[in-house]
Amino acid sequence: MAIDLEALSTCTRCDLSITRQRVVIGSGPAGPALMVIGEAPGRSEDEGGEPFIGRSGQLLFRLLDEEAGLSRDQCFVTNVVKCRPPNNRTPTRHELATCRPWLAEQLADVRPRVVLALGNTAARSLFGYEQGIGHTHGLVARLDSGPGLATYHPAAALRSGSVVLELMRADLRILRSLVQKA
């Protein structure tokens, strides 16, 4: 069953619908090499209606190109939570659980070969990890859709600098081999 985009774009299942400007659904080709899944839209995305169009996105797609040979238009890009939390706070468990069925429908529709979760919130929500991203980045998980990998959120690399950046680069080289094999 195809996802009801009209219902998603007018969703009021949680209170983020009160403060958001737009539901950021995500976009990309069907059957892509990669589905990139972040945490939730930030200010630029809430205004622009597309995921990862701010500074984090610029870094992310440069790294994906350099380390995994993937361009943005080869990826379907979305978030575990589709609406911006006020002041970019971490989504609550309730918001994550409420939004989860939308992501499940997207995964079933999009059928990516490989999934990349960015940061703690996405990695925990998608792969059920209890440990933080410092322990789970670079691990390969199995989803119904196929293999999945977690790495740091690019915002963490922007904040913390070269150590996190190098860890992300190493994770994305693992991603490259997953995509080649999938």
Of 28, 46, 52, 175, the one binding ligand URA (CB under 6 A) is 52
Q: Would you say 33 or 116 has its CB closer to ligand URA?
A: 116
Binding mask 68-97 for ligand URA (x = CB under 6 A): -----------x------------------
Q: Does 42 bind ligand URA (CB under 6 A)?
A: yes
By CB under 6 A, tell whether 116 contacts ligand URA: no
Tokens 């410092």 correspond to 134
User: Closest Cα to residue 115, out of 3, 2, 35?
Assistant: 35
Site for ligand URA in 143-182 (CB under 6 A): none
Q: Say how far apart CA 73 and CA 124 lie, in whole Å.
A: 26
Residue from the set 28, 32, 41, 85 that interacts with ligand URA by CB under 6 A: 41
* Listed ranges 10-18, 46-54, 68-76, 124-132: which one lies at the site for ligand URA (CB under 6 A): 46-54
| CB burial of residue 31 (10 Å; 0-12, 13-18, 19+) | exposed
Cα distances (angstroms) measured from residue 137 to each of 7, 67, 149, 166: 34, 16, 7, 12
Residues 21-40, mask of contacts with ligand URA (x by CB under 6 A)? -----------------xxx
Give me the residues that bind ligand URA (CB under 6 A), please.
38-42, 45, 51-52, 54, 56, 79
